[in-house]
Structure 1
Amino acid sequence: MGSSLLPEEFEQAALGLKSGETRRFEISLPADHPDAQLAGKAIQYILTLKKVEQPRYPDIDADFAVSLGIDGGDLERMRAEIKENLERETQRCIRLLLQRQVMDCLLECAALDAPRTLVEQDQRRLAEIARQNMEKQGARNHNAPISAEMFKERAERRIKLGLICAELIQQHDLQAQPEQVRAAVETLSKSYQAPQEIVRWYYADTQRLAEVEAEVAERNIIDFVLSKAKVEQQPMSFEALAKASQSLFTICDKRPEAKEGPPER
Protein backbone atom coordinates (compact mmCIF):
# COMPACT_ATOMS: atom_id res chain seq x y z
CA MET A 1 0.00 0.00 0.00
CA GLY A 2 1.25 3.44 -0.90
CA SER A 3 4.22 2.11 -2.86
CA SER A 4 2.65 2.69 -6.31
CA LEU A 5 3.30 -0.97 -7.16
CA LEU A 6 -0.44 -1.67 -7.38
CA PRO A 7 -2.96 0.24 -9.50
CA GLU A 8 -4.59 3.07 -7.59
CA GLU A 9 -7.97 1.31 -7.90
CA PHE A 10 -6.63 -1.62 -5.87
CA GLU A 11 -5.43 0.61 -3.08
CA GLN A 12 -8.71 2.55 -3.03
CA ALA A 13 -10.68 -0.70 -2.90
CA ALA A 14 -8.62 -1.93 0.04
CA LEU A 15 -9.15 1.18 2.13
CA GLY A 16 -11.43 0.52 5.08
CA LEU A 17 -11.36 -3.27 4.74
CA LYS A 18 -10.73 -5.44 7.78
CA SER A 19 -9.09 -8.85 7.84
CA GLY A 20 -11.39 -11.42 6.23
CA GLU A 21 -13.60 -8.88 4.45
CA THR A 22 -14.22 -8.96 0.69
CA ARG A 23 -14.98 -6.21 -1.80
CA ARG A 24 -15.84 -6.30 -5.52
CA PHE A 25 -14.70 -3.58 -7.90
CA GLU A 26 -14.06 -2.91 -11.58
CA ILE A 27 -11.08 -1.50 -13.45
CA SER A 28 -11.32 -0.22 -17.03
CA LEU A 29 -8.04 -0.86 -18.82
CA PRO A 30 -6.76 1.57 -21.48
CA ALA A 31 -6.83 0.70 -25.17
CA ASP A 32 -3.02 0.75 -25.26
CA HIS A 33 -2.61 -1.73 -22.39
CA PRO A 34 0.49 -3.93 -22.99
CA ASP A 35 -1.59 -7.12 -22.83
CA ALA A 36 -3.64 -7.16 -26.04
CA GLN A 37 -6.09 -9.63 -24.48
CA LEU A 38 -7.06 -7.09 -21.83
CA ALA A 39 -6.71 -3.80 -23.70
CA GLY A 40 -9.85 -1.66 -23.59
CA LYS A 41 -11.77 -4.07 -21.38
CA ALA A 42 -13.44 -3.68 -18.00
CA ILE A 43 -12.07 -6.22 -15.54
CA GLN A 44 -14.04 -7.39 -12.51
CA TYR A 45 -11.97 -8.06 -9.38
CA ILE A 46 -12.78 -9.66 -6.05
CA LEU A 47 -10.44 -8.47 -3.31
CA THR A 48 -10.25 -10.36 -0.02
CA LEU A 49 -8.09 -8.89 2.71
CA LYS A 50 -6.32 -11.80 4.38
CA LYS A 51 -4.16 -9.96 6.86
CA VAL A 52 -2.95 -6.45 7.65
CA GLU A 53 0.77 -6.23 8.27
CA GLN A 54 3.37 -3.51 8.61
CA PRO A 55 6.90 -3.98 7.26
CA ARG A 56 9.73 -4.23 9.77
CA TYR A 57 13.04 -3.12 8.40
CA PRO A 58 16.10 -5.19 9.38
CA ASP A 59 19.16 -3.76 11.06
CA ILE A 60 21.86 -2.86 8.54
CA ASP A 61 24.60 -5.01 10.01
CA ALA A 62 26.95 -7.83 9.05
CA ASP A 63 24.24 -10.47 9.43
CA PHE A 64 22.06 -8.58 6.98
CA ALA A 65 24.93 -8.34 4.50
CA VAL A 66 25.57 -12.08 4.79
CA SER A 67 21.88 -12.75 4.09
CA LEU A 68 22.39 -10.91 0.78
CA GLY A 69 25.31 -13.15 -0.13
CA ILE A 70 28.11 -10.77 0.90
CA ASP A 71 31.03 -12.83 2.18
CA GLY A 72 32.13 -11.81 5.65
CA GLY A 73 29.26 -9.36 6.02
CA ASP A 74 31.29 -6.48 4.56
CA LEU A 75 28.92 -3.50 4.70
CA GLU A 76 30.99 -1.32 2.37
CA ARG A 77 31.02 -4.05 -0.25
CA MET A 78 27.27 -4.51 0.20
CA ARG A 79 26.62 -0.80 -0.36
CA ALA A 80 28.91 -0.78 -3.39
CA GLU A 81 27.10 -3.73 -4.95
CA ILE A 82 23.68 -2.20 -4.26
CA LYS A 83 24.81 1.06 -5.86
CA GLU A 84 26.17 -0.79 -8.89
CA ASN A 85 22.92 -2.74 -9.29
CA LEU A 86 20.82 0.43 -9.02
CA GLU A 87 22.97 2.19 -11.61
CA ARG A 88 22.68 -0.78 -13.96
CA GLU A 89 18.90 -0.91 -13.48
CA THR A 90 18.66 2.83 -14.08
CA GLN A 91 20.46 2.49 -17.41
CA ARG A 92 18.20 -0.42 -18.37
CA CYS A 93 15.05 1.59 -17.63
CA ILE A 94 16.35 4.62 -19.53
CA ARG A 95 17.16 2.41 -22.48
CA LEU A 96 13.64 0.95 -22.49
CA LEU A 97 12.05 4.40 -22.53
CA LEU A 98 14.37 5.59 -25.28
CA GLN A 99 13.62 2.47 -27.29
CA ARG A 100 9.89 3.08 -27.17
CA GLN A 101 10.23 6.77 -28.00
CA VAL A 102 12.57 6.13 -30.94
CA MET A 103 10.41 3.33 -32.33
CA ASP A 104 7.30 5.50 -32.08
CA CYS A 105 9.11 8.24 -34.01
CA LEU A 106 10.23 5.80 -36.71
CA LEU A 107 6.67 4.60 -37.16
CA GLU A 108 5.42 8.16 -37.50
CA CYS A 109 8.11 9.11 -40.02
CA ALA A 110 8.05 6.01 -42.22
CA ALA A 111 5.18 5.69 -44.70
CA LEU A 112 4.98 1.93 -44.70
CA ASP A 113 2.23 -0.64 -45.12
CA ALA A 114 2.78 -3.94 -43.36
CA PRO A 115 2.34 -6.95 -45.70
CA ARG A 116 -0.97 -8.56 -44.80
CA THR A 117 0.39 -12.11 -44.96
CA LEU A 118 3.16 -11.33 -42.47
CA VAL A 119 0.74 -9.55 -40.16
CA GLU A 120 -1.69 -12.47 -40.19
CA GLN A 121 1.11 -14.92 -39.48
CA ASP A 122 2.28 -12.83 -36.54
CA GLN A 123 -1.27 -12.49 -35.23
CA ARG A 124 -1.64 -16.27 -35.14
CA ARG A 125 1.73 -16.67 -33.49
CA LEU A 126 0.95 -14.08 -30.82
CA ALA A 127 -2.40 -15.75 -30.13
CA GLU A 128 -0.69 -19.11 -29.69
CA ILE A 129 1.92 -17.61 -27.38
CA ALA A 130 -0.86 -16.05 -25.30
CA ARG A 131 -2.60 -19.41 -25.05
CA GLN A 132 0.63 -21.12 -23.97
CA ASN A 133 1.29 -18.44 -21.37
CA MET A 134 -2.20 -18.92 -19.95
CA GLU A 135 -1.56 -22.65 -19.73
CA LYS A 136 1.77 -22.13 -17.95
CA GLN A 137 0.06 -19.83 -15.45
CA GLY A 138 -2.58 -22.45 -14.72
CA ALA A 139 -5.47 -20.46 -16.14
CA ARG A 140 -8.76 -22.27 -16.47
CA ASN A 141 -10.11 -22.84 -19.98
CA HIS A 142 -6.63 -22.20 -21.42
CA ASN A 143 -7.54 -24.47 -24.32
CA ALA A 144 -10.29 -22.10 -25.41
CA PRO A 145 -9.45 -20.46 -28.75
CA ILE A 146 -7.96 -16.98 -28.54
CA SER A 147 -8.89 -14.72 -31.41
CA ALA A 148 -5.92 -13.67 -33.52
CA GLU A 149 -7.85 -10.49 -34.33
CA MET A 150 -7.07 -9.28 -30.82
CA PHE A 151 -3.42 -8.99 -31.82
CA LYS A 152 -3.84 -7.22 -35.15
CA GLU A 153 -2.65 -3.79 -34.02
CA ARG A 154 0.32 -5.19 -32.16
CA ALA A 155 1.26 -7.47 -35.07
CA GLU A 156 1.14 -4.57 -37.53
CA ARG A 157 3.43 -2.54 -35.29
CA ARG A 158 5.88 -5.41 -34.90
CA ILE A 159 6.06 -6.16 -38.63
CA LYS A 160 6.46 -2.50 -39.60
CA LEU A 161 9.20 -1.98 -37.04
CA GLY A 162 10.92 -5.17 -38.09
CA LEU A 163 11.07 -3.98 -41.70
CA ILE A 164 12.21 -0.49 -40.71
CA CYS A 165 14.92 -1.85 -38.40
CA ALA A 166 16.18 -4.28 -41.05
CA GLU A 167 16.47 -1.46 -43.60
CA LEU A 168 18.31 0.82 -41.18
CA ILE A 169 20.74 -1.95 -40.27
CA GLN A 170 21.49 -2.65 -43.92
CA GLN A 171 21.77 0.96 -45.10
CA HIS A 172 23.91 2.22 -42.22
CA ASP A 173 25.95 -0.90 -41.30
CA LEU A 174 24.42 -1.18 -37.83
CA GLN A 175 25.01 -4.92 -37.46
CA ALA A 176 26.19 -6.15 -34.07
CA GLN A 177 29.98 -6.40 -33.94
CA PRO A 178 31.68 -9.27 -32.04
CA GLU A 179 33.24 -6.92 -29.50
CA GLN A 180 29.83 -5.32 -28.86
CA VAL A 181 28.24 -8.71 -28.31
CA ARG A 182 31.02 -9.73 -25.93
CA ALA A 183 30.62 -6.51 -23.94
CA ALA A 184 26.84 -7.02 -23.76
CA VAL A 185 27.23 -10.59 -22.49
CA GLU A 186 29.76 -9.50 -19.89
CA THR A 187 27.40 -6.75 -18.72
CA LEU A 188 24.59 -9.29 -18.36
CA SER A 189 26.89 -11.57 -16.38
CA LYS A 190 27.83 -8.95 -13.78
CA SER A 191 24.65 -9.45 -11.75
CA TYR A 192 25.57 -13.11 -11.14
CA GLN A 193 27.92 -14.58 -8.57
CA ALA A 194 29.83 -16.56 -11.22
CA PRO A 195 30.07 -14.18 -14.21
CA GLN A 196 32.37 -16.39 -16.28
CA GLU A 197 29.89 -19.26 -16.09
CA ILE A 198 27.18 -16.97 -17.47
CA VAL A 199 29.46 -15.85 -20.31
CA ARG A 200 30.16 -19.49 -21.21
CA TRP A 201 26.43 -20.26 -20.97
CA TYR A 202 25.61 -17.65 -23.63
CA TYR A 203 28.44 -18.63 -25.96
CA ALA A 204 27.59 -22.33 -25.67
CA ASP A 205 24.37 -21.88 -27.65
CA THR A 206 24.08 -20.02 -30.96
CA GLN A 207 20.40 -19.20 -30.35
CA ARG A 208 21.13 -17.56 -27.00
CA LEU A 209 23.95 -15.57 -28.56
CA ALA A 210 21.73 -14.60 -31.48
CA GLU A 211 19.29 -13.03 -29.03
CA VAL A 212 22.09 -10.87 -27.63
CA GLU A 213 23.25 -9.99 -31.15
CA ALA A 214 19.72 -8.84 -32.02
CA GLU A 215 19.56 -6.67 -28.91
CA VAL A 216 22.94 -5.13 -29.71
CA ALA A 217 21.82 -4.34 -33.26
CA GLU A 218 18.70 -2.74 -31.83
CA ARG A 219 20.83 -0.58 -29.55
CA ASN A 220 22.88 0.45 -32.56
CA ILE A 221 19.67 1.61 -34.23
CA ILE A 222 18.68 3.62 -31.16
CA ASP A 223 22.10 5.25 -30.92
CA PHE A 224 22.08 6.05 -34.64
CA VAL A 225 18.64 7.67 -34.50
CA LEU A 226 19.49 9.62 -31.36
CA SER A 227 22.67 10.93 -33.02
CA LYS A 228 20.46 12.48 -35.72
CA ALA A 229 17.70 13.71 -33.41
CA LYS A 230 17.26 16.66 -31.10
CA VAL A 231 17.22 15.19 -27.59
CA GLU A 232 15.70 16.95 -24.59
CA GLN A 233 16.73 15.94 -21.07
CA GLN A 234 13.92 15.20 -18.61
CA PRO A 235 14.66 14.92 -14.87
CA MET A 236 13.01 11.86 -13.31
CA SER A 237 13.32 10.02 -10.01
CA PHE A 238 14.39 6.38 -9.98
CA GLU A 239 10.95 5.31 -8.74
CA ALA A 240 9.17 7.19 -11.54
CA LEU A 241 11.62 5.84 -14.10
CA ALA A 242 11.15 2.24 -12.97
CA LYS A 243 7.37 2.58 -12.97
CA ALA A 244 7.33 4.17 -16.44
CA SER A 245 9.43 1.36 -17.90
CA GLN A 246 7.53 -1.53 -16.32
CA SER A 247 4.86 -1.77 -19.00
CA LEU A 248 7.12 -1.37 -22.01
CA PHE A 249 8.00 -4.18 -24.40
CA THR A 250 11.52 -4.63 -25.65
CA ILE A 251 12.54 -2.64 -28.67
CA CYS A 252 10.61 -3.38 -31.85
CA ASP A 253 8.25 -5.57 -29.77
CA LYS A 254 9.80 -8.45 -31.64
CA ARG A 255 10.23 -11.09 -28.97
CA PRO A 256 7.14 -11.63 -26.77
CA GLU A 257 8.12 -15.20 -25.98
CA ALA A 258 9.48 -16.00 -22.55
CA LYS A 259 13.13 -16.76 -23.17
CA GLU A 260 15.07 -19.43 -21.37
CA GLY A 261 17.03 -17.60 -18.74
CA PRO A 262 20.59 -18.18 -17.56
CA PRO A 263 21.34 -20.22 -14.43
CA GLU A 264 20.03 -18.78 -11.18
CA ARG A 265 22.01 -16.06 -9.44
Structure 2
Amino acid sequence: RKSRAQAEKQDVNYKAADGDVAVIDFKGFLADKPFQGGEAKKHHLILGSGSFIPGFEEQLIGHKVGDEFDIKVRFPKDYHSKDLAGKEARFEIKIHELRHHILPELNDDLAKQVGQESIAALKEHIYKILDEQYIEASKREMRDELLSILADKIKLDLPKVLVSQEVEMAKQESERSGQKFDEKKEEKDAQRRVKLGLILAEWGMQNKIAISNEELQRAIWTEASRYPDPKVVFDFYNKNPNSLAMMRGMLFERKALDEMLKHVKVKEKKVKPEELFEQKPVK
Protein backbone atom coordinates (compact mmCIF):
# COMPACT_ATOMS: atom_id res chain seq x y z
CA ARG A 1 0.00 0.00 0.00
CA LYS A 2 1.23 3.49 -0.85
CA SER A 3 1.66 6.39 1.53
CA ARG A 4 -0.14 8.82 -0.78
CA ALA A 5 -3.45 8.27 -2.56
CA GLN A 6 -3.11 7.79 -6.32
CA ALA A 7 -5.66 7.43 -9.09
CA GLU A 8 -4.19 4.98 -11.59
CA LYS A 9 -5.40 4.93 -15.19
CA GLN A 10 -7.20 1.69 -16.07
CA ASP A 11 -7.29 -0.28 -19.33
CA VAL A 12 -10.29 -0.69 -21.66
CA ASN A 13 -11.46 -3.87 -19.93
CA TYR A 14 -11.88 -2.21 -16.53
CA LYS A 15 -15.43 -1.50 -15.37
CA ALA A 16 -16.14 1.75 -13.53
CA ALA A 17 -16.68 1.33 -9.79
CA ASP A 18 -17.78 3.53 -6.90
CA GLY A 19 -14.97 5.93 -5.96
CA ASP A 20 -13.31 5.91 -9.40
CA VAL A 21 -12.55 9.07 -11.36
CA ALA A 22 -14.38 9.05 -14.69
CA VAL A 23 -13.32 11.46 -17.43
CA ILE A 24 -16.49 11.99 -19.43
CA ASP A 25 -18.32 14.04 -22.01
CA PHE A 26 -21.96 14.63 -21.21
CA LYS A 27 -24.82 16.49 -22.84
CA GLY A 28 -28.26 16.90 -21.30
CA PHE A 29 -31.64 17.02 -23.03
CA LEU A 30 -35.21 17.81 -22.03
CA ALA A 31 -37.55 16.09 -24.49
CA ASP A 32 -34.64 15.81 -26.98
CA LYS A 33 -33.78 19.52 -26.71
CA PRO A 34 -30.42 20.52 -25.15
CA PHE A 35 -30.66 22.74 -22.07
CA GLN A 36 -28.29 25.45 -20.87
CA GLY A 37 -25.54 24.33 -18.52
CA GLY A 38 -26.09 20.65 -19.30
CA GLU A 39 -22.95 19.99 -21.35
CA ALA A 40 -19.25 19.49 -20.63
CA LYS A 41 -16.23 17.88 -22.30
CA LYS A 42 -13.71 15.65 -20.51
CA HIS A 43 -15.13 16.46 -17.11
CA HIS A 44 -13.48 14.68 -14.16
CA LEU A 45 -16.20 13.13 -12.01
CA ILE A 46 -15.64 11.09 -8.84
CA LEU A 47 -18.29 8.37 -8.88
CA GLY A 48 -20.21 8.27 -5.62
CA SER A 49 -19.23 11.81 -4.63
CA GLY A 50 -22.80 13.08 -4.95
CA SER A 51 -21.56 16.15 -6.83
CA PHE A 52 -24.06 15.63 -9.65
CA ILE A 53 -27.84 15.30 -9.48
CA PRO A 54 -29.18 12.08 -7.88
CA GLY A 55 -28.98 9.00 -10.09
CA PHE A 56 -26.36 10.38 -12.50
CA GLU A 57 -23.16 8.91 -11.09
CA GLU A 58 -24.70 5.53 -10.23
CA GLN A 59 -25.56 4.88 -13.87
CA LEU A 60 -21.92 5.20 -14.93
CA ILE A 61 -20.84 2.33 -12.71
CA GLY A 62 -20.14 -0.85 -14.68
CA HIS A 63 -19.28 0.93 -17.93
CA LYS A 64 -15.88 0.86 -19.67
CA VAL A 65 -13.57 3.31 -21.44
CA GLY A 66 -14.97 4.10 -24.87
CA ASP A 67 -18.57 3.37 -23.93
CA GLU A 68 -21.15 5.77 -25.32
CA PHE A 69 -24.62 5.52 -23.80
CA ASP A 70 -27.64 7.43 -22.52
CA ILE A 71 -28.89 7.75 -18.96
CA LYS A 72 -32.11 9.16 -17.54
CA VAL A 73 -32.36 11.17 -14.34
CA ARG A 74 -34.91 13.40 -12.67
CA PHE A 75 -33.95 16.77 -11.23
CA PRO A 76 -34.99 17.28 -7.58
CA LYS A 77 -38.29 19.08 -7.05
CA ASP A 78 -36.49 21.79 -5.09
CA TYR A 79 -33.81 22.28 -7.76
CA HIS A 80 -32.76 25.94 -8.02
CA SER A 81 -33.81 26.25 -11.68
CA LYS A 82 -37.58 26.09 -12.14
CA ASP A 83 -36.95 25.17 -15.78
CA LEU A 84 -35.37 21.91 -14.58
CA ALA A 85 -36.93 21.27 -11.15
CA GLY A 86 -38.78 17.96 -11.09
CA LYS A 87 -38.12 17.33 -14.80
CA GLU A 88 -36.87 14.12 -16.34
CA ALA A 89 -33.73 14.57 -18.42
CA ARG A 90 -31.68 12.41 -20.74
CA PHE A 91 -27.89 12.65 -20.86
CA GLU A 92 -25.62 11.41 -23.61
CA ILE A 93 -22.43 10.05 -22.02
CA LYS A 94 -19.02 9.14 -23.41
CA ILE A 95 -16.28 7.74 -21.16
CA HIS A 96 -12.76 8.77 -22.15
CA GLU A 97 -10.83 7.51 -19.16
CA LEU A 98 -11.23 5.69 -15.85
CA ARG A 99 -8.91 6.05 -12.89
CA HIS A 100 -9.00 3.81 -9.83
CA HIS A 101 -7.88 5.19 -6.49
CA ILE A 102 -5.19 3.27 -4.62
CA LEU A 103 -5.95 3.68 -0.93
CA PRO A 104 -3.10 5.01 1.21
CA GLU A 105 -1.92 3.44 4.45
CA LEU A 106 -3.95 4.66 7.42
CA ASN A 107 -1.45 6.27 9.77
CA ASP A 108 -0.56 9.62 11.34
CA ASP A 109 1.44 10.68 8.26
CA LEU A 110 -1.67 10.39 6.12
CA ALA A 111 -3.69 12.36 8.68
CA LYS A 112 -1.13 15.20 8.63
CA GLN A 113 -1.24 15.32 4.83
CA VAL A 114 -4.95 16.18 5.01
CA GLY A 115 -4.65 18.67 7.84
CA GLN A 116 -5.33 16.49 10.90
CA GLU A 117 -2.97 15.88 13.81
CA SER A 118 -3.38 12.11 14.01
CA ILE A 119 -5.28 9.19 12.53
CA ALA A 120 -7.64 9.35 15.52
CA ALA A 121 -8.40 13.00 14.77
CA LEU A 122 -8.93 12.15 11.09
CA LYS A 123 -11.42 9.41 11.96
CA GLU A 124 -13.28 11.77 14.27
CA HIS A 125 -13.41 14.35 11.46
CA ILE A 126 -14.79 11.77 9.03
CA TYR A 127 -17.39 10.58 11.52
CA LYS A 128 -18.49 14.19 11.99
CA ILE A 129 -18.93 14.68 8.22
CA LEU A 130 -20.91 11.44 7.92
CA ASP A 131 -23.08 12.43 10.87
CA GLU A 132 -23.85 15.78 9.24
CA GLN A 133 -24.80 14.00 6.00
CA TYR A 134 -27.13 11.61 7.85
CA ILE A 135 -28.76 14.50 9.70
CA GLU A 136 -29.33 16.46 6.49
CA ALA A 137 -30.75 13.40 4.70
CA SER A 138 -33.11 12.78 7.62
CA LYS A 139 -34.19 16.43 7.60
CA ARG A 140 -34.90 16.21 3.89
CA GLU A 141 -37.20 13.23 4.46
CA MET A 142 -38.98 15.02 7.31
CA ARG A 143 -39.39 18.20 5.26
CA ASP A 144 -40.98 16.25 2.41
CA GLU A 145 -43.36 14.45 4.77
CA LEU A 146 -44.32 17.69 6.53
CA LEU A 147 -45.02 19.39 3.19
CA SER A 148 -47.34 16.55 2.21
CA ILE A 149 -49.21 16.88 5.53
CA LEU A 150 -49.55 20.65 5.16
CA ALA A 151 -50.82 20.33 1.60
CA ASP A 152 -53.36 17.66 2.54
CA LYS A 153 -54.64 18.98 5.88
CA ILE A 154 -54.75 22.77 5.55
CA LYS A 155 -57.59 24.32 3.58
CA LEU A 156 -57.08 27.74 2.00
CA ASP A 157 -58.84 29.97 -0.48
CA LEU A 158 -56.08 30.38 -3.02
CA PRO A 159 -55.62 33.59 -5.06
CA LYS A 160 -56.60 32.58 -8.58
CA VAL A 161 -54.07 34.96 -10.09
CA LEU A 162 -51.16 33.20 -8.34
CA VAL A 163 -52.36 29.76 -9.45
CA SER A 164 -52.82 31.03 -13.02
CA GLN A 165 -49.30 32.45 -13.04
CA GLU A 166 -47.87 29.11 -11.91
CA VAL A 167 -49.83 27.23 -14.58
CA GLU A 168 -48.74 29.69 -17.27
CA MET A 169 -45.06 29.32 -16.29
CA ALA A 170 -45.42 25.53 -16.44
CA LYS A 171 -47.06 25.82 -19.86
CA GLN A 172 -44.27 28.04 -21.20
CA GLU A 173 -41.65 25.61 -19.90
CA SER A 174 -43.46 22.68 -21.57
CA GLU A 175 -43.45 24.58 -24.86
CA ARG A 176 -39.73 25.37 -24.54
CA SER A 177 -38.79 21.80 -23.69
CA GLY A 178 -41.21 20.15 -26.11
CA GLN A 179 -42.87 18.15 -23.35
CA LYS A 180 -46.59 17.38 -23.31
CA PHE A 181 -48.60 19.84 -21.22
CA ASP A 182 -51.17 18.20 -18.92
CA GLU A 183 -53.34 21.13 -17.86
CA LYS A 184 -55.28 19.19 -15.22
CA LYS A 185 -52.11 17.91 -13.56
CA GLU A 186 -50.34 21.27 -13.78
CA GLU A 187 -53.36 23.01 -12.23
CA LYS A 188 -53.25 20.60 -9.28
CA ASP A 189 -49.48 21.00 -8.88
CA ALA A 190 -49.78 24.79 -9.10
CA GLN A 191 -52.41 24.85 -6.37
CA ARG A 192 -50.14 22.79 -4.14
CA ARG A 193 -47.14 25.07 -4.75
CA VAL A 194 -49.16 28.22 -4.11
CA LYS A 195 -50.73 26.80 -0.95
CA LEU A 196 -47.40 25.68 0.50
CA GLY A 197 -45.78 28.98 -0.46
CA LEU A 198 -48.44 30.98 1.38
CA ILE A 199 -48.29 28.73 4.45
CA LEU A 200 -44.51 28.91 4.72
CA ALA A 201 -44.43 32.66 4.03
CA GLU A 202 -46.90 33.32 6.84
CA TRP A 203 -45.11 30.97 9.25
CA GLY A 204 -41.76 32.51 8.36
CA MET A 205 -42.95 36.06 8.96
CA GLN A 206 -44.59 35.16 12.28
CA ASN A 207 -41.38 33.50 13.43
CA LYS A 208 -39.13 36.25 12.03
CA ILE A 209 -37.29 33.95 9.62
CA ALA A 210 -34.61 35.78 7.63
CA ILE A 211 -31.85 34.78 5.23
CA SER A 212 -28.53 36.56 5.69
CA ASN A 213 -26.30 37.42 2.76
CA GLU A 214 -23.71 34.99 4.13
CA GLU A 215 -26.26 32.15 4.07
CA LEU A 216 -27.29 33.11 0.54
CA GLN A 217 -23.73 33.20 -0.80
CA ARG A 218 -22.86 29.91 0.88
CA ALA A 219 -25.89 28.22 -0.69
CA ILE A 220 -25.03 29.65 -4.12
CA TRP A 221 -21.48 28.32 -3.91
CA THR A 222 -22.72 24.91 -2.78
CA GLU A 223 -25.00 24.77 -5.82
CA ALA A 224 -22.33 26.15 -8.17
CA SER A 225 -19.85 23.48 -7.05
CA ARG A 226 -22.03 20.86 -8.74
CA TYR A 227 -21.09 22.28 -12.14
CA PRO A 228 -17.87 21.82 -14.15
CA ASP A 229 -17.00 25.55 -13.78
CA PRO A 230 -18.35 26.68 -10.37
CA LYS A 231 -17.12 30.28 -10.67
CA VAL A 232 -19.12 30.89 -13.85
CA VAL A 233 -22.31 29.65 -12.16
CA PHE A 234 -21.54 31.57 -8.96
CA ASP A 235 -21.05 34.82 -10.90
CA PHE A 236 -24.20 34.18 -12.94
CA TYR A 237 -26.29 33.96 -9.77
CA ASN A 238 -24.88 37.16 -8.33
CA LYS A 239 -25.50 39.08 -11.56
CA ASN A 240 -29.04 37.75 -12.00
CA PRO A 241 -31.61 39.26 -9.57
CA ASN A 242 -34.25 36.66 -10.48
CA SER A 243 -31.89 33.77 -9.70
CA LEU A 244 -30.88 35.40 -6.41
CA ALA A 245 -34.52 35.89 -5.46
CA MET A 246 -35.31 32.28 -6.35
CA MET A 247 -32.44 30.96 -4.23
CA ARG A 248 -33.36 33.24 -1.31
CA GLY A 249 -36.97 32.06 -1.51
CA MET A 250 -35.92 28.41 -1.48
CA LEU A 251 -33.68 29.00 1.57
CA PHE A 252 -36.46 30.91 3.34
CA GLU A 253 -38.94 28.07 2.84
CA ARG A 254 -36.41 25.46 3.97
CA LYS A 255 -35.55 27.49 7.06
CA ALA A 256 -39.25 27.97 7.83
CA LEU A 257 -39.82 24.23 7.50
CA ASP A 258 -36.94 23.46 9.85
CA GLU A 259 -38.37 25.89 12.41
CA MET A 260 -41.79 24.29 12.03
CA LEU A 261 -40.30 20.83 12.60
CA LYS A 262 -39.24 21.95 16.08
CA HIS A 263 -42.93 22.14 17.00
CA VAL A 264 -44.10 18.76 15.71
CA LYS A 265 -43.83 15.31 17.24
CA VAL A 266 -41.29 13.15 15.46
CA LYS A 267 -41.24 9.38 15.67
CA GLU A 268 -37.77 7.91 15.29
CA LYS A 269 -37.23 5.05 12.88
CA LYS A 270 -34.02 3.10 12.34
CA VAL A 271 -32.97 2.68 8.72
CA LYS A 272 -29.83 1.54 6.95
CA PRO A 273 -27.65 4.26 5.36
CA GLU A 274 -28.40 2.97 1.87
CA GLU A 275 -32.13 3.29 2.57
CA LEU A 276 -31.72 6.85 3.82
CA PHE A 277 -29.87 7.92 0.67
CA GLU A 278 -31.78 5.72 -1.74
CA GLN A 279 -32.95 7.50 -4.88
CA LYS A 280 -36.15 6.45 -6.60
CA PRO A 281 -35.49 5.24 -10.15
CA VAL A 282 -36.82 7.22 -13.09
CA LYS A 283 -39.61 5.36 -14.81
TM-score with structure 2 length normalisation? 0.49
Number of positions where the alignment pairs a residue of Structure 1 with one of Structure 2: 194
Q: After superposition, give the CA deviation of every residue in 1:24-81 in whole Å (9 maximum; x if it has no partner).
A: 4464x67x9636648575x5544333234433112223343233233xx322222222
Superposition map of 1:163-174 within 5 A: 163-168=198-203, 174=207
Q: Whose strand proportion is higher, 1 or 2?
A: 2
What corresponds to 2:259 in structure 1? 220
What corresponds to 2:241 in structure 1? none
Aligned mates of 2:141, 2:92 — CA distance in 1: 33
1:76 to 105, 120, 125: 120
- SS of alignment partner, residue 236 of structure 1: coil
Aligned mates of 1:161, 1:61 — CA distance in 2: 51
1:102 to 146, 156, 169: 146
What corresponds to 1:10 in structure 2? 59
What corresponds to 2:106 in structure 1? 60
Deviation, 1:103, is: 0.8
Q: After superposition, give the CA deviation of every residue in 1:66-108 in whole Å (9 maximum; x if it has no partner).
A: 33233xx322222222222222222222111101101111101
Q: What is the aligned-residue RMSD (CA, Å)?
A: 4.9
Q: Whose helix proportion is higher, 1 or 2?
A: 1
Alpha-carbon contact 1:123-1:152 (below 8 Å) kept:
yes
What corresponds to 2:268 in structure 1? 233
Aligned mates of 1:26, 1:236 — CA distance in 2: 28
- SS of alignment partner, residue 54 of structure 1: strand
- SS of alignment partner, residue 107 of structure 1: helix
What corresponds to 1:93 in structure 2? 137
Q: What residue ranges of structure 2 are gaps of 5+ in the alignment?
A: 1-15, 19-46, 49-54, 219-244
Q: Does 1:119 align with 2:154?
A: no
Aligned mates of 1:83, 1:52 — CA distance in 2: 28
Aligned residue type for 2:200: C
Alpha-carbon contact 2:200-2:253 (below 8 Å) kept:
no
Q: After superposition, give the CA deviation of every residue in 1:10-31 in whole Å (9 maximum; x if it has no partner).
A: 35xx74x553243x4464x67x
What corresponds to 1:136 in structure 2? none
Alpha-carbon contact 2:67-2:94 (below 8 Å) kept:
yes
What corresponds to 2:277 in structure 1? 242
Taking a change above 3 Å as real, the CA distance of residues 164 and 146 of structure 1, as seen in their structure-2 partners, is same
